[in-house]
Amino acid sequence: MMSSNTARPARLHYMANGFRVLAPGDHVVCAVSGEKIPLEALRYWSVARQEPYASAEIATKAMMTP
């Protein structure tokens, strides 16, 4: 029986030009807002912090805080 990844968070390793799936799922959770981000919509993340962001605005704000 195949398991479904629906409503299950993925675990990712963020790299400069993409990400690698470490544990399957259909979304990640924004590190700042807590918003669910479908993997196909994920565009913003921090390689250094290894965290995803829901928007460019959120990513910019997060990267400006130490």
Concatenated DSSP letters of 9-56: B-EEEEETTEEEEEE--SEEE-TTT--EEEGGG--EEETTTTEEESSH
Cβ atoms of 48 and 32 within 8 Å: the answer is no
pLDDT of residue 66: 78
Provide CB contacts within 8 A for 13, sequence distance 6+: 19, 20, 22, 50
Q: pLDDT-based confidence at 47, cuts 50/70/90?
A: very high
Residue 1 pLDDT > 80, yes or no? no
How confident is the prediction for the chain on average, in pLDDT? 93
